[in-house]
Chains A and B, each alone.
Chain A
Amino acid sequence: MRTRGVISTVGLALVVTAATAAASLAGTARQSATNLRGAGSSFVAPLVAQWQSNYKGASVDYNPIGSGGGIAAITARTVDFGASDAPLSKDEFAACKGCVQIPWALSATSIPYNLDLGRRLKLSGKVLAGIYLGQIKTWNDKRIQALNKGLKLPSTKITPVYRSDNSGTSYNFTDYLSSVNATWKSKIGVGTNAKWPAGIGAPKSNGVAAAVSQTKGAIGYVDVAYAIKNHLPFAAVQNAAGQYILPGNVGIKAAAATVSKVPSSNAISIVNPPSSQRSAYPICTFTYVILPLKTSKAADLRKFVFWALTNGQQYGPRLRFVPIPNKVLGASEKTLKRVHS
């Protein structure tokens, strides 16, 4: 009986080995054309997946290991390009030795929740900060009720869900909370991770989506494409003009319209845009591709990223990515020209 156990284990190992071998063979076959390897943000992953099938100039591999992982990978030059939703920090720029970041996509962070309400939940930045600070503990709290007149909210406990790994989505979310709440700004601050005062952590966008969908009374934050994919309802969030806006194409476009000039680092924050844009969704973010200035694949990289910035943008709206505004496009193209071999 012992031998039988060994035989079946060996058999399983053989099957796995064969499958891996077949996969790597398929991999080599594809590499006949130029191959660009990238890794990083899971936020932008749905759009990159679309680009992979539409771009004909080269074959593109993309590994959605999270923004932090993407920065680490391009710093170590184990990939040809990295992708991050958070702009590089000073330490990271220095460590990356001659990297540039280029905004190449634009989307929003949605606030999914797990409650049967019959109508969409409305939230404000102050209330969201209160929930994530652990000050607002139940759904029928009068501060939430005040935003949702006529809606019967249950006494269920609120479970805030955050990303346990380092993430650009967390950067976008904490950037927003810092801009609307002074306590958050001074005590916790902006970052790809934080000292979360309340709630539970789940890994990656899919993990947060799963945690929210499995926990009654949970609330989370994920790229809007993940909320839609997981059939999670998400909140309408109040903007500076007092309007309740959904993370749709209109709301994201309006938020991006507030960009007046692009700094030389290309880092742009568009959270909590001014009230002049009445229909702007307040938790939007640019997401960046990170390229080494000097690379042997410069020509192919320039071609691919230029295509992504121009033709590639048309595939965005279906996935709730909005074409980047012209001002930003200009800055992106200018930076892209500096990449050389």
Chain B
Amino acid sequence: MATTSPSLARAAELRRRGRFHPGDAALHGVTLVAALGAVALLALIAWKVVDQARPAMHRFGLHFLVSNTWDPGVHQVFGAAAFIFGTAVTSLGALLIAGPLSIAIALFLTELAPRWLRGPIGTLVEMLAAVPSVVVGLWGILVMGPFVANHLEPWLKHTFGFLPLFGGDPSIFGLLPAILVLTIMITPIVSSVSRELFLGVPQDLKEGALALGTTRWEMIRGVVLPYARSGIAAALILGLGRAVGEAIAVTQVIGGNVAIHWSLFRPGDTLASRIASQYQGATTKLQVGSIAYLATILLVFSLVANVVAQAIVRKVARRQPLIR
């Protein structure tokens, strides 16, 4: 109190005299620079990436997007189809597992768990996001990979082997290990955002539903989930963005192979993983250009995903009866 009142008095006096407010001007300046800086940085990155990609764009054109060849050897022919496919399969696969799992975790932590358990479990799930991706990848090779190859994949093959997804020979490297690693990395993000959303559901709505004689599950289905719907969609898109952009951990477990196939057991590669593994020391201008071309695709994809996400959130929010 003693320290604030003189400065408050001074501010009031300055206002009375109608003088310039240096604090406000500084705040305005600093925030403007920060905002413009972020925009400028993005523009510079985009320009540099596209500039580097020019030799490959000139040589391969849009055919690059559908060509399934990556030959840095004698022929120097490059194409992105296999990596676009691998990115789509691994990130959607991870989202398919992580989505329900994260919502279940968030529901448990907000509605079902005993109060003393919520803090520790919530913290531990968030800690999962603090594990560096290179460590997750290493764990993927040494611990998860052998488990997947010796137990999970043989079981999947035995039970669902009639599906092309689970055909092929079990291996510690492949699309499935990559999906699992990505699941581990996006679950903390999606679940902690969902938990905040569920905590934001007004208590009186929930109690009202329970008072009308609904079961806990009916209350969750009828009140909590619809209330948080648009937020969950946004959380899932956030997770998708993380999955699409993750490079190092995926590089370590996906098996760096240029191929399009439906077996989750076989190796593949993603856009981000190919960029991470082959940008350094690419030997020709065309190879560097092709890798920058991959980065351009990734950049455009993130832009589209963001715009779509915002559209979804807006649309779902408008449809919602519970929030105005």
Contacts and interface: CB of A to CB of B under 8 A. Distances in A.
Interface stretch (B8-16, B27-35, B64-72, B307-315): B64-72
A67 interface: yes
Interface string B114-126: 0000110011001
Interface stretch (B40-48, B158-166, B254-262): B254-262
Given A165-B278, A202-B173, A215-B171, A89 B283 contact: yes
Interface string B239-276: 00000000000011001111000000001010000000
Given A5-B122, A5-B126, A164-B251, A196 B257 contact: yes
B252 to A, nearest CB: 6
Contacts of A91: 283-285
A191 B283 contact: yes
A179 to B, nearest CB: 14
A193 B173 contact: no
Nearest to B173: A200
B73 A189 contact: yes
A166 B278 contact: yes
Nearest to B119: A1
Interface in B129-146: 130, 141-142, 145-146
Nearest to A8: B123
Contacts of B127: 8-9, 12
B281 A188 contact: no
Contact size range, B: 35 or more
B39 interface: no
Contacts of B146: 214
> Which residue of B199, B256, B257 has the most chain A CB atoms within 10 A of its CB atom?
B256
Contact of B141 (A8, A164, A165, A214): A214
A201 B256 contact: yes
Given A159-B171, A189-B74, A195-B71, A207 B278 contact: no
B267 A65 contact: no
Interface string A40-71: 00000000000000000000000001111111
Contacts of A188: 73-74
Given A203-B251, A215-B149, A4 B267 contact: no
Contacts of A287: none
Contacts of B224: none
Nearest to A186: B74
B282 interface: yes
B173 A211 contact: yes
Nearest to B174: A200
Given A196-B257, A211-B173, A69 B119 contact: no
A6 B127 CA distance: 10
B281 to A, nearest CB: 1
A152 interface: no
A12 B172 contact: no
A9 B129 CA distance: 10
Nearest to B258: A195
Contacts of B284: 89, 91
A20 B179 CA distance: 32
Contacts of A187: 74
B69 to A, nearest CB: 7
Contacts of B74: 186-189, 191
B277 A165 contact: yes
A174 interface: yes
A72 interface: yes
Given A164-B251, A191-B73, A72 B281 contact: yes
B107 to A, nearest CB: 15
A124 interface: no
A208 to B, nearest CB: 11
Contacts of A69: 280-281
Contacts of A8: 123, 127
Contacts of A164: 251, 255-256, 269, 277-278
Interface of B: 69-75, 118-119, 122-123, 126-127, 130, 141-142, 145-146, 149, 169, 171-174, 199, 251-252, 255-258, 267, 269, 277-278, 280-285
Given A9-B127, A72-B281, 9 more contacts: A8-B127, A9-B123, A164-B278, A188-B74, A200-B174, A210-B142, A211-B173, A214-B146, A215-B173
Interface of A: 1-2, 4-5, 8-9, 12, 65-72, 89, 91-92, 157, 159, 162, 164-167, 174, 186-196, 199-203, 207, 210-211, 214-215
Complex A-B, nearest 7 residue pairs according to Cβ-Cβ distance, in ascending order: A68-B281, A201-B256, A164-B256, A189-B74, A1-B119, A200-B255, A166-B281
7 contacts: A1-B123, A4-B119, A91-B284, A191-B283, A193-B72, A201-B257, A211-B173
